[in-house]
Amino acid sequence: MYIHLSDNKLRALNISFATNRHFRFINAAKNSISWIGRQRRDNLDDIARTHPVDLPCTCEGLEILKWLSSTKVSILNKDFLKCSTQAAHAEDIGNLELRINELQMQCMSITLLVVLSSVAAAMLITFLGLSLIYRYRWRLLYLRNVALTRLLGNHEAKEPCDFAYNAFIVHTETAHNFVLEELRQELKSQRGHKLCIPEVDFMPGSLLVTDILAAVTSSMTTVVICTPDIMQDISAEYSVKMALNVEHFSKRKALFLILIEQETFLENHNEDQYRN
């Protein structure tokens, strides 16, 4: 496979390679060879064609091709270098600089496509994630606050006898007198129900969101006094959302609405303020 003829005074190379297909390398340095016969040259060409060197002419092999174009190392038989393309086809490497430029343009397009695809996928995942968070924001808020109230020592009741209140009363400031004077008198004094009324039972200075959730989870029912301004009250909206989540997770009826007719309500309040 290897023939070393260096440091001789050979003037011609007249060795037959016709029957040696395993031949790989001949070192004829430091000789005076001035002639290689036509038949010997044809033999060498035939052997080289059957043992080409395949270079990866793909994005993965771009660095190797760049090195070949700039290295000071002498590459023997450059004419017999083969180029293995992405489609697994072998072809002559041709002009190395031109091949490198073509690959750089091709790889740049692929890289740009990969980057744009990655960015688009990341944006899509982010959008879907934010959409899901927005859609289930109240459930996530409920679960977070349940964990927070448990850290503070409050636990959701499971059985009727475990509830601290029969009802948690949700109302706006405009229904204050109705709740304390009429509703409280009827349900608590006349019927003996335990009521949780924010202005009576919530501790001043405590965290309102945890107080509301604790009241919702420790009451058999959350009773909402539906006055015309109920939709503008943030704490009332929060209370209703928490009660709906209690219904979802505990599978029990936890929300009850008391609708006060607008005409009746306006008789006892500033008509101009609540007409709309």
Distance, in Å, from the CA atom of 89 to the CA atom of 93, rounded to the nearest integer, reads 12
Q: Report the candidate in 95, 213, 106 with the shortest Cα–Cα distance to residue 149.
A: 213
Residues 67 and 33 in one domain: no
Task: Indicate if 158 and 237 belong to the same structural domain.
Answer: yes
Q: Are residues 242 and 168 in the same domain?
A: yes
pLDDT of residue 121: 92
pTM of the model: 0.48
The range of the structural domain enclosing residue 5 comes to 1-51
The DSSP secondary structure of 178-232, one letter per residue, reads IIIIIIHIIIIIIT---EE-HHHHSPTTS-HHHHHHHHHHTEEEEEEEE-TTGGG
Per-residue pLDDT of the chain (276 residues; tens, 9 = 90+): 778 888 888 888 777 767 776 776 777 777 777 677 777 777 776 766 665 555 667 777 777 777 777 776 566 556 556 677 666 666 777 777 887 888 888 887 777 888 888 999 999 999 999 998 888 888 888 887 777 767 766 666 666 677 889 999 999 888 888 888 888 888 888 888 899 999 888 888 778 888 888 888 888 899 999 888 888 888 888 899 888 888 888 888 888 888 876 555 555 555 444 443
CATH number (domain holding residue 190): 3.40.50.10140
| Same domain for 270 and 154 | yes
Check whether residue 177 and residue 155 sit in a common domain. yes
Q: Are residues 39 and 67 in the same domain?
A: no
Considering its fold, how many domains does the chain have in total? 3
SS3 221: strand
Residues 35, 145: one domain? no
Cβ count within 10 A of residue 189: 9
Q: Spell out the residues 6+ positions from residue 41 whose beta carbon is closer than 8 angstroms to its own.
A: none
